[in-house]
Structure formats: C-alpha cells, structure tokens
Amino acid sequence: MTTTTPMERLRGLRAVGELAAAYHRVPALLAELLDEAAPADRDALLGRAGRLLAGLDLDEVLHHHPATQMVTVAITGQSTVAGLVDPLTAELARHGLLLRPLIGDHGGWLHDLTDPRGQLLPERPDLSLCLLDAETVFAELPSPWRVEELAEAAERVLERLARLAAEHERLAPGLLVLNTLPLLRRHAGQLVDHASRARLGAVWREFNARLLRLTERHRSLVVLDLDPLTAATGPVEDARLACYAQVRYTAPVLAGYAREVGHLTRSLTGLTRKCLVLDLDNTLWDGVLGEDGPDGIAAADTLRGEAFGAFQRTVRQLASQGVLLAVSSKNDRGPVLETLRSHPDLLLREPDFAEVRADWLPKDGHLADIARQLGIGTDSLVFADDSPGERAQVRFGLPEVAVLPLDGEPALHGERLLADGWFDVLRLTEEDRARPEQYRLEGERHRLREDSGSHADFLHQLGVSVRIGPPEPHEYPRLVQLTQRTNQFNLTGLRLQPGDPAAVAEDAGRLLLAIRAADRFGSNGLVGALLGRHTPDGLLLENAWLSCRVLTRGIEQAVLAALLAESRAAGRPAVHARFTPTAKNHRAELFYPELGFTETARTEDGVLFRHDLECPPEPPPHVHVTLDLGWPTDAWAR
C-alpha cells in the first residue's frame, strides 16, 4: 500500500480541483503535517501549504462550507509585506478559518489605516496588521546621524503611532496590530564608541516599552512583542532581501508573526480552548505508575524528574489564569488519586484538576465525558499525551480536539505546550482567574442535580437569582471576551470588539445589558449580555449571549420574560429579535418562538421575529430577576 504525506494529499486535492470542497479536511491534514515534520521543517512546510491554500477561490470554499468563518485581514507596513500571506493563510486554516487578505501599498501604512476612502478601511477588516521595522525610525534620520537625533525621531514616530491608534479606533471596527521594532547589529555597529551604543540601546528599548504601553490607552490596539519571537526564530532579516526587495523580516520571523496573529484571531472568533487534558505517565511525571509504583515515578530530584517538574510549573501557571485542567490516564483510579494526593514530587494535586478520568476505557471517551461534565464542547479541549497511539485514537474519535504531541524528551514539553497559544485571550479578566473555582462549584451543583428527584427539584433548590443592567466600564473586557467565547447561545454569531461596549454606552439609541447570575453555591459572575436598539416600533434585540455554564437553568427565559414585561409596562409597541444560524447555535433555534415571538421575515442574514407584548411569557418561578434597564423613557421613539 502506498502511503502519501499530508502535503502530497493537499497537492493531490488541488490538482484535481477538489481542495475547496475538501476545506473541512484541511485542519486535520495540517495537524498531521506538523506532527510528522521535524521541528526545523515545520514553518517551511506550513508556508508551502499556505501557498496552496492562498490560491483557493474564497467564494467556492464558502459555497461548499457556508459555515466557515472568513476573517478579513488588512496587511500593511513599512516594507514589503506580501510574504506574510502564505503563512497567515495556513495558520488560520489550521483552525478552520478562511483568510481574506487585503494588501496595502508599500510603505503606505499611515495612509492605508487612516483614509476612510482608501482601499483597506471600506472593507471593514476584522484585523489590521501594520508590520513595522527598524526603518520606521531610521528612515527619519539624516546622514550621518547621532543618537540625539534618533531619540527625537523615535519620539515623532511614537506620537504618530499614538495618533494612528486613536484614529483607527474611531474609523475601523476591528483590532489594530502593531509590533515592537527589533534593533539590528548593522544599526548599532554604525556607532564606533560603546557609550553611544549604550545610549542607542536605552533609547530603543524605551521606545518599544512606550509602544507596548499604548495598549493601556487603546482597547482596540494590540502590540506584538517581537523580542521573544526573534529570540526563538533566529536572524531578523536577510541583508540582501532587505536591500534589494525591501523585505525586512526573514521567513521564520514572518512565520512566527503569523502564528501569533493566528492565536489572536482564534481568540476573536470564539475558538480559544478552555481545558487542558493531561496524560500522566511520562507526560506529567517520569515513569509508569502501574509498572513502577509510586516510588518509581519522579517529577523532581532526578535529571529527567526536574524536567517533568518544570512542565508541571508551566501547567500550573496556565491554570492560575483560568485554564481548566483534567486528567485522562490509562491507570487504575485508586492509585492515581493516591499519587495525586500524596506524592512528594508533585506540584499539581487532585484539587487542581476539574476532572480525573483514570481507567482502561478509550481516551476519546474520557475526553467526551470530561467536556460533558464541565459543560463545554469537545472543541474546547487540548489533549497532551506522549503516546502516538493514544493521540491517533483521539484524533480519529474526536477530530475537533487539539492534540499536543509530546515525546520522550520532557525538557521540550513546556515549549510544545506553549507553541500554539491555545489558551491566549485578548485581556485576562477576574472571571478568568476565578474559573477553576467556578468549575469546582459546578461539581457541587452536579452533585445536587444527581441527588434531586427531578430537574425541577434541582432548579428549585438551586435558588437562581439574576441581575440585569448596563455593564460597568470595568466589566467591558469581560463582556467582550464573553461574546468572543460564547458559541452555543450566541443567537446571531456576532462578537463584540474591544471598543464596542463604550461606543454603545455613548449611543442613546442603543442598549447593552450585562446579565449576572448567582445561586446557593455563590456567584456565577457576568454570564451573558443583550444588545439592542431602540426603534419606533419598540426594541430590536440585535443579539443575546449566555455562557454555556448556566444554560438549562431558566436564566435565558427569565431574562427575556423580564425584558418583555418591562417593555410592555413602558408602553413599547413591540420587541423584535433576530436569529442567525451558525455552526454551533442550532440548540437555540427555537428560543424566540417558544417565548411567543412570531416570525416576520426570513432573509439571508437569518430570521426576524416580533413579539406584540399583549401576552408576555411568564418567567420561570425558580428564578428571581432584578432589572435595571437604565434606558431613557422616550428612547424607544427615537
């Protein structure tokens, strides 16, 4: 039997004109390609795959796979940026996304990103990448130059970038992505004395630090720090390409940059992973528990044991920022729990794991159970295992799970875990840090559910309370993140961008409400949101989001019932709503009809409903709702 490589299969699909129709298979092929490739070859192979995919007809892909998320990315910068398209195409394809690139003029980044009638902004890009390099500052200098003149030039560029961030935030709906500027040897080496080189280094680092701090003032700005990236990839530029072709970053740097943008895009499109599922033997500790016994495994005090200990510290660091942990192990459960409770080498203990599955059943079943228990989709899981056989079994049984290939070198476990930024978010919130505790409480709710005679009994004992009102400014990052991470109860697929909550709050004709929930076990935090617009015929609900953690508790029905009752009491003529089907919100398809809404129109954007408010639905009796809409009394008539 002839075995073909993933790249050969991609080429074969393209040769017979079936690559667009097979786009749903591309993420698995690229994952296989990266698994099989030597680390040094991965970026180059992914770039070649990107070249194949970049030639696809986007309309044809969407014809075959209409649910595919297409991401419009404006790419501009100081120098030639076209080399970014192939690796970025591949990085987005790895996650099932489709890149629609818009390429700006060479060196025309300021015009590209601030001219509302230019070629980029009218296309309303989801992301605007402005790839800067050292020439952004050095092009401002006379010849010859002194450090004092460079400091003045850096100040001017920084002011220009600050104005760009503000203007882009005003003109464009998506994020602006800038980057720190690497200082090259050929620049520092032009100064013959070490004192001047030291001043140059200090000025340059101060410039980059102030550039990074612009993100504290502009919610829609991201600045990628290229220092860690270039430290890992090697040379920043090829002097010949930089001189003759104005290409100022090498292919490995562009590949790393594309990967970072891929992580960012994943977080903006609701694809951030939530839970890391770990094997134990030779993944979390050195040795096989069933064969070596507790005394024969190590995560400290030996050469290899120290490497496993370092991996555990990395995992613990992620967990401290809201990443859920779980175990999937082919072992007897009793010895596993005893080891997690008492082994002196371990940093991670039983309470650190939201779920521990240890038995001899197939691991894809473990992962499905873990996802079900946590109330998240299996596409929210990352699975790390040193066994190729177990990884293959999970890939086959649950292809949507991100599989992290570990091997016999534990010193590389941490690097491989972090390479793909599976858990990256735009901004970390207090709810993120509290997530492990939230899921621990979910376990208590689950036990209450099992001990209750019926689901109604469970809800009655749960004592759900809901508070609805405009979000506070400090809640904006959490609210934006919620809309970006919520898929099952996201009724139109809309995801808010960082600047949206403040913009809605300033618009008297619009309405943004935060939904906060609590029960007998404690607060669930900010779990949902409503976005609306006042119209002459009442209120138009543009979207509703609710975290999957609190679905099926009657919260969504209680919120809508309260809103409809309040609208009726305020004399609104009606409440309108829109439902747009996505790949994951089909369970909410009947939400509005079941609350008495009637369909008024069906378009390519979805279904429009209207409720005449003559008979608002009764709220579920087990939910106590506090409502503070904060809308002006005449807002509906604007």
Taking only the tens place, the pLDDT of each residue in 212-236 is: 999 999 989 999 999 999 999 889 9
Residue with tokens 């690796």: 87
The band of 435, judged by pLDDT with boundaries at 50, 70 and 90, is confident
The band of 110, judged by pLDDT with boundaries at 50, 70 and 90, is very high
Sheet containing 510-519: give its strands across.
598-603, 606-611, 575-579, 538-546, 522-535, 510-519, 464-469, 623-627
Taking only the tens place, the pLDDT of each residue in 411-428 is: 999 999 999 999 999 888
What is the predicted pLDDT for the residue at 343? 95
Cα–Cα nearest to 321, from 279, 273, 376, 366: 273
What is the rounded CA–CA span in Å between residue 84 and residue 432? 32
Q: Which residues contact 309 (CB under 8 A, 6 or more apart)?
A: 299, 300, 345, 347
Cα–Cα nearest to 275, from 211, 357, 219: 357
pLDDT above 50: residue 638:
no
Q: Tell me whether strands 464-469 and 510-519 are parallel, antiparallel or unpaired.
A: antiparallel
What is the predicted pLDDT for the residue at 447? 82
Higher-confidence position of 114 and 445:
114
pLDDT above 50: residue 637:
no
Whole-number average pLDDT of the chain:
92
**Alpha carbon of residue 412 to chain centroid:** 24
Residue with tokens 């075995």: 3
Average pLDDT, integer, range 322-329: 95
State the DSSP code for 587: G
What is the predicted pLDDT for the residue at 418? 96
Q: Would you list the DSSP string of 337-397?
A: HHHHHH-TT-SS-GGG-SEEEEESS-HHHHHHHHHHHHT--GGGEEEEES-HHHHHHHHHH
pLDDT above 50: residue 636:
no
Taking only the tens place, the pLDDT of each residue in 347-366 is: 999 999 999 999 999 999 99
The helix or strand, by DSSP H or E, that contains position 157, with its residue range, turns out to be helix 147-171
What is the predicted pLDDT for the residue at 337? 96
Average pLDDT, integer, range 249-276: 94
- CATH code of the domain occupying 275-435: 3.40.50.1000
- Is there a shared CATH topology between the 69-269 domain and the 458-627 domain? no
Level-2 CATH architecture, domain 458-627: 3-Layer(aba) Sandwich (3.40)
- Where in the chain are the domains? 1-62, 69-269, 275-435, 458-627
Under DSSP, is residue 553 helix (H, G, I), strand (E, B) or coil?
coil
Q: Encode 615-629: b = buried (16+ Cβ within 10 Å), e = exposed.
A: ebbebbebbebeeeb
- SS3 percent helix, strand, coil of the chain, rounded to 5, is 50, 20, 35
What is the predicted pLDDT for the residue at 627? 87
Taking only the tens place, the pLDDT of each residue in 472-500 is: 998 998 899 899 888 889 999 999 988 89
> Do 69 and 97 form a contact (C-beta atoms < 8 A)?
yes
> Do 70 and 585 form a contact (C-beta atoms < 8 A)?
no
Cα–Cα nearest to 527, from 486, 498, 569: 486
- Other CB atoms closer than 10 Å to residue 440's CB: what's the count? 12
Strand partners, 276: 325, 382
69-269 carries CATH number 2.40.30.10: no
Question: At residue 78, what are phi and psi to the nearest 5 degrees?
Answer: -75, -30
Token pair belonging to 21 = 């129709």
The helix or strand, by DSSP H or E, that contains position 136, with its residue range, turns out to be helix 135-138
Token pair belonging to 373 = 């228990």
Token pair belonging to 336 = 């596993």
